[in-house]
Amino acid sequence: MGTFEVKECNDTEVAKALFIEYSQIKGAEGCFVSFDKELADLNNFYKGGAILVGYENGKPAGCIAIKKSRCYNL
């Protein structure tokens, strides 16, 4: 087994490629309501949140994006 590490995304092209790969999985299409808008400006779409990329043996292997909720005043 190799190494796995998670880092904050500094390269939106890496995140975009992972998002696109995930969007092509059967059944995942419902997760992407405004996908084109999201891809066009990832930094602003997730402003106040985070995009994290997991690397396995130095290669991008997956990601997660967390968007700040507008529902709560924290």
Here the tokens at position 40 are 């066009």
pLDDT of 15 reads 93
pLDDT band at 73 (very low <50, low <70, confident <90, very high): low
pLDDT tens per residue across span 22-62: 888 777 766 667 788 888 988 898 888 999 999 999 999 99
pLDDT of 16 reads 93
CB-based contacts of 42-49 (< 8 A; 24+ apart in sequence): 42/12, 42/15, 42/16, 43/12
Count of CB atoms situated within 10 Å of the CB of 9: 22
Q: Which of 48, 67, 60, 55 minimizes the C-alpha distance to 19?
A: 60
pLDDT at position 8 over 90: yes
pLDDT of 18 reads 93
Chain centre to alpha carbon of residue 40: 13
pLDDT of 74 reads 55
Q: Which residues have CB under 8 Å from 23's CB, separation 6+? A: 29, 31, 32, 35
